[in-house]
Chain A
């Protein structure tokens, strides 16, 4: 070897070694974004080799896709196996004759019924006909002609979850007007499924986001996972918080699915008592700690629990939150004022100065 080359070689070797060390110390974060469930699914996995993280993510996405087909509320049921909910709704409409359902569907319906009763019927996945009447059972939606008489009639038919009788993997409805729409349940259920799957696969650190509902496993390296909360009217985050292992967060907002008519906003969250979209609230965010086994899981609760709090008027929000056992929540009303519980306030790091300045901290009422 010529003498002149040697120093160069040494430099190259040193550089490679140092770069190798830096690359090794880089956080091993795998991040994927896909469109499933008619929404954006965003999965981060920390500390797993990229190939494994990719395989795990694909498995989760396939499960989501399958669940989406099974629970889709308004696709015509061409294939019985794939669109189980469509077939079930068709059976409900024809009369109280039991049909077979999958064990998974039975589990979902029992849990959803329990939560519906617990929320005094404010969380009501049986009002599919109402949601359809407002035009929200479409991939694309626009202003509808509000047919007051039709809506009043639909409310009078009083579809309730306890109308559904589930027995030994069969189901029927005592009320033919029950039409299931699991739009306020399915994403949360999918979060729990994904979290369970990753735990089974011994993945300790992951963050799963389905259409805004997020669940955390472990943490992001040495620090907890941090999530931002969307501003209801601007494309930015108003605050961030740390999401600890097993915790989930969900928001119901009037900015996700809505249409404007004569200067008024009509959002997809409908009060089952009046049949009309809720117009007094911009957003409700709930933070849910890990739950005991055999009760509704954190993901489901993060999806479900925000709806009754959103629907109830300001004066009654804390009561329904207490009924649902939700301690950490934030409400943003139509005047863009934020109300948080003291428990929630300790978790939040504010980014938006206006919200922080006009913040109201209110204790949850006790039973």
Chain B
């Protein structure tokens, strides 16, 4: 090993003691990159949620990773939306024909159940959607 001259050693020390603007930029860019990648890659993998819409508004978005019943007051009465271990469904509805209840459990992203009389809809979201709109 060769010995560094004394004046170079002191110069390196002074330069590393304080971080400069460029360093802060690199650090902050790094932080942002991590956050963005986390959001893009991590949350989309795991999170599966159910979105309940009432009329033209979003009533609420709930995690599917729970077991609970949600009472929603629709246009004609109270309906029950059940969430259980990654699935969701209409389990009770005041509508006459009960199509929404017969739709059964929804479990994949993009699946939807609709109750026209009660103006309620369920949609599973989370993973990337396969399409922009559904033809039925």
Point out residues on A near B: beta carbons under 8 Å: 7, 10-11, 14-15, 18-19, 22, 32-35, 38-40, 42, 44, 139-142, 207, 209, 211-214, 220, 225-230, 235-237, 240, 249-251, 253, 256, 259, 285, 351
- A285: chain B residues within 8 A (beta carbon): 135
B6 contacts the other chain (Cβ, under 8 Å)?
no
- A34: chain B residues within 8 A (beta carbon): 55-56
Nearest chain B residue, comparing its CB with the CB of A220: B132
Decide: B96 and A14 in contact? CB cutoff 8 A.
no
Complex Cα distance A34/B97, Å?
Answer: 21
Decide: A35 and B56 in contact? CB cutoff 8 A.
yes
Decide: A40 and B116 in contact? CB cutoff 8 A.
yes
Add 19 more A-B contacts to A35-B116, A351-B130 (CB < 8 A).
A10-B28, A11-B24, A11-B28, A14-B25, A15-B31, A32-B56, A35-B119, A40-B121, A140-B95, A141-B97, A142-B97, A213-B135, A214-B133, A225-B132, A226-B132, A227-B131, A227-B133, A228-B131, A230-B136
Q: Mark B89-114, 1 if CB is under 8 A from A, else 0.
A: 00000011100000110101011111
Decide: B113 and A235 in contact? CB cutoff 8 A.
yes
- B95: chain A residues within 8 A (beta carbon): 140
Closest Cβ–Cβ distance, residue A214 to chain B (whole Å): 5
Decide: B110 and A228 in contact? CB cutoff 8 A.
yes
Closest Cβ–Cβ distance, residue B35 to chain A (whole Å): 9
Interchain CB contact (< 8 A) of B136 among A19, A33, A251: A251
Decide: B121 and A236 in contact? CB cutoff 8 A.
no
- Which residue, of B29, B31, B130, B136, has the highest number of chain A Cβ atoms within 10 A? B136
- A38: chain B residues within 8 A (beta carbon): 116
- Which residue, of B25, B114, B130, has the highest number of chain A Cβ atoms within 10 A? B130
Closest Cβ–Cβ distance, residue A188 to chain B (whole Å): 13
Interchain CB contact (< 8 A) of A142 among B31, B96, B103, B121: B96
Closest Cβ–Cβ distance, residue A307 to chain B (whole Å): 15
Complex Cα distance A191/B113, Å?
Answer: 23
Complex Cα distance A32/B57, Å?
Answer: 9
B86 contacts the other chain (Cβ, under 8 Å)?
no
Complex Cα distance A306/B89, Å?
Answer: 31
Decide: A236 and B131 in contact? CB cutoff 8 A.
no
- Which residue, of A220, A228, A250, has the highest number of chain B Cβ atoms within 10 A? A228
- A15: chain B residues within 8 A (beta carbon): 28, 31-32
- B117: chain A residues within 8 A (beta carbon): 139-140
B47 contacts the other chain (Cβ, under 8 Å)?
no
Nearest chain A residue, comparing its CB with the CB of B130: A240
- B116: chain A residues within 8 A (beta carbon): 35, 38-40
Q: In the complex, which residues 1-56 of chain B have their Cβ closer than 8 Å to any Cβ of chain A?
A: 19, 21, 24-25, 27-29, 31-32, 36, 53, 55-56
Question: Can you list 21 A-B contacts with CB-CB less than 8 angstroms, sorted by A residue number?
Answer: A7-B19, A10-B21, A15-B32, A18-B29, A32-B56, A33-B56, A34-B55, A38-B116, A44-B133, A141-B97, A142-B96, A225-B132, A226-B132, A227-B132, A228-B133, A229-B135, A230-B135, A235-B104, A235-B106, A251-B135, A251-B136
Decide: B29 and A207 in contact? CB cutoff 8 A.
no
- Cβ-closest 4 pairs across A and B: A230-B136, A212-B136, A228-B131, A14-B28
Decide: A207 and B132 in contact? CB cutoff 8 A.
yes
Closest Cβ–Cβ distance, residue A143 to chain B (whole Å): 10
Decide: B133 and A35 in contact? CB cutoff 8 A.
no
Decide: A225 and B133 in contact? CB cutoff 8 A.
yes
- Which residue, of B27, B104, B116, B121, has the highest number of chain A Cβ atoms within 10 A? B116
- B28: chain A residues within 8 A (beta carbon): 10-11, 14-15, 18
Decide: A237 and B25 in contact? CB cutoff 8 A.
no
Closest Cβ–Cβ distance, residue B31 to chain A (whole Å): 7
- A211: chain B residues within 8 A (beta carbon): 136
Complex Cα distance A204/B41, Å?
Answer: 31
Decide: B29 and A14 in contact? CB cutoff 8 A.
yes
Complex Cα distance A139/B24, Å?
Answer: 64
Complex Cα distance A240/B129, Å?
Answer: 11
Decide: B134 and A212 in contact? CB cutoff 8 A.
yes
Closest Cβ–Cβ distance, residue B84 to chain A (whole Å): 16
Nearest chain A residue, comparing its CB with the CB of B108: A236
Decide: B132 and A256 in contact? CB cutoff 8 A.
no
Decide: B113 and A10 in contact? CB cutoff 8 A.
no
Complex Cα distance A235/B97, Å?
Answer: 16
Asked, given contacts A14-B29, A35-B119, A237-B110, whether A226 binds B24 with beta carbons under 8 Å apart, the answer is: no
